[in-house]
Amino acid sequence: MATYVDEVSAQTGTDPLPLPTQDPFYDAPADLDGMRPGEIIRSRQVELKDYWASHHRSAARQLLYRSTDLNDTPGVAATTVVLPRKRARDGEFQLLSFQCAIDAVTSQCFPSYALRKGADSSKTIAPFEFLVVRRALAKGWAVSIPDHEGMLGAWGAPREPGYRTLDGIRAALAVDDHELSAETPIGLWGYSGGGMATSWAAEMAAEYAPELNIIGAVLGSPVGDMASALMRLNGGFHAGLPVMAIEGLRRVYPELDRVIVDHATDSGRRHLAEIAAMPTLDALRRFKSHDIDDYLDIPLADVLARPEIVEMMNDLQLGTHAPTIPLLVVQAVHDEVISVDDIDGQVDRYRDQGAAVTYVRDQLSEHYSLLPLSGPLAVSWLAHRLEGRPHRNRTVTAVAGQRAPRWPKRLVAGRTSSGMAVDDGDDASAA
């Protein structure tokens, strides 16, 4: 267990809260190369915002720790560890690592900033997702919320979101006053961009952090195929997402950066620089219907056909490593952002390698409603893993969002407290 003194205190007064890229708390130490993955560099107590009716008043501490990027180079990352007001009993207590859908390049969207009192985070996603995280806190679980993109904001990069998530868990377990032992059961959960980060954590865990007692992972709409998503969303309502991903990926793939330097038009360079500083919701509004073809002086198809870009796209593919922990995958069939076909493919790749996956394909929800609707199911499924209940490798159909009196009789037994029913004749608890 680590012992240390907080090096930076919580913000006081009325000064604007500095972004992580401007905050000395996030500075890497000179001896970073000699530190272990997950080793704590510094910590601070922070106050979190109270969102709407979420008067949680939970104690929170932020940890800066040593982690690793996709090329195994040391770097720093931060996590926000939130403690429940009333801890669950022994045998019912666990640590949940919740990976937010950061989905941006700017550090304004990092959870360690966006969740803090005084932060300018109205156009970020983390505050909305924290309302779902409260379900875990209400069960008496501690929650770690990592900045899984790292300090570069390399959204979409492979492997390293998993490394930073796992190292954030290591850091959380190493804090004396949290009273989390090394044997603490750990659950993983994330949705959309956070589901993608959770997928990487599940895939990397066995090799990168085999000592962690991870009991299961919930992958909500976890992207599945980044290359497919980039192409499908380009030019449409959510075109800001692929533009942000390109700006993030060029920071960790020199070959992509060379293409941008050599072939981006003046307007293309301006747009990429603009979106790098934008929070997620502003970027989606500003870049609606943008076509990346218009950013280049050569066709996008020619760029994607280059061997080095093909290699990069293959590197982004989820499902190339078999998780050794049980998985719950939740996806809306009519999702307007993430294609259900891409999630079907990710699940198939996991199963082909022997992974155990409960796959819930929801018929009535869409991308933005499925997270809150599936929240109770996710927490219940993790609680069942904590209790040691058997896990099934199966695909089931769910129907979300209906009121109880409207449920067909054949679905009532499978309905969960979220209003999500499992249409396969089994009780939802069997998941």
pLDDT, tens digit, 9 for 90 and up, residues 340-353: 999 999 999 999 99
CATH 1.10.260.130 assigned to 227-315: yes
pLDDT band, residue 428 (cuts 50/70/90) = very low
Active-site residue flag, 56: no
Per residue in 239-273, pLDDT (tens digit) is: 999 999 999 999 999 999 999 999 999 999 999 99
pLDDT for the residue 176:
79
For residue 326, pLDDT over 50 is answered with yes
For residue 279, pLDDT over 70 is answered with yes
pLDDT for the residue 404:
34
20-220 and 227-315, same CATH topology: no
Per residue in 219-243, pLDDT (tens digit) is: 999 999 988 998 999 999 999 999 9
Contact call for residues 82 and 172 (beta carbons, < 8 A): no
Catalytic residue among 335, 365, 374, 380: 335
DSSP string, 130-184: HHHHHHHHHTT-EEEEE-TTTTTT-TT-SSHHHHHHHHHHHHHHTBGGGT--TT-
Catalytic residue among 238, 271, 367, 384: 367
pLDDT for the residue 277:
95
Question: For the residues 61-84, what does the mean pLDDT come to?
Answer: 96
What the block records as the tokens of 257 is 């950066």
pLDDT band, residue 52 (cuts 50/70/90) = low
296 φ, ψ (degrees, to nearest 5) = -125, 155
Per residue in 85-98, pLDDT (tens digit) is: 888 887 788 999 99
Strand 394-399 to 421-422 pairing: antiparallel
Distance, CA of 79 to CA of 93 (rounded, Å)? 20
pLDDT for the residue 100:
97
Tell me how many degrees the CA angle 114-197-231 measures, rounded to the nearest 5.
100
pLDDT band, residue 22 (cuts 50/70/90) = very high
Q: Does residue 182 or residue 7 have the better pLDDT?
A: 182
For residue 401, pLDDT over 80 is answered with no
Q: How high is the mean pLDDT of the chain?
A: 88
Half-sphere exposure of 77 (CA within 13 A, CB side): 33
pTM of the model: 0.90
Active-site residue flag, 54: no
**Under DSSP, is residue 81 helix (H, G, I), strand (E, B) or coil?**
strand
What residue spans define the domains of the chain? 20-220, 227-315, 394-430
What is the domain class of 20-220 according to CATH? Answer: alpha beta
Q: Which residues of 348-383 are buried (b: 16+ CB within 10 A; e: fewer)?
A: ebbbeeebbbbbbbbebbbbeebbbbbbbbbbbbbb
399 φ, ψ (degrees, to nearest 5) = -130, 115
Q: Which residues of 193-228 are buried (b: 16+ CB within 10 A; e: fewer)?
A: bbbbbbbbbbbbbeebbeebebbbbbbbbbbbbbbb
Q: What percent of the chain has pLDDT over 70?
A: 87
Place of tokens 């085999």: 210
Strand 60-68 to 40-46 pairing: antiparallel
For residue 11, pLDDT over 70 is answered with no
Active-site residue flag, 192: yes
Q: List the one residue out of 319, 328, 137, 143 whose CA is nearest residue 218.
A: 328
Per residue in 150-201, pLDDT (tens digit) is: 999 999 999 999 999 999 999 999 997 767 888 999 999 999 999 999 999 9
Per residue in 131-155, pLDDT (tens digit) is: 899 999 999 999 999 999 999 999 9
Catalytic residue among 107, 144, 192, 374: 192
Q: Does residue 237 or residue 397 have the better pLDDT?
A: 237
For residue 6, pLDDT over 80 is answered with no
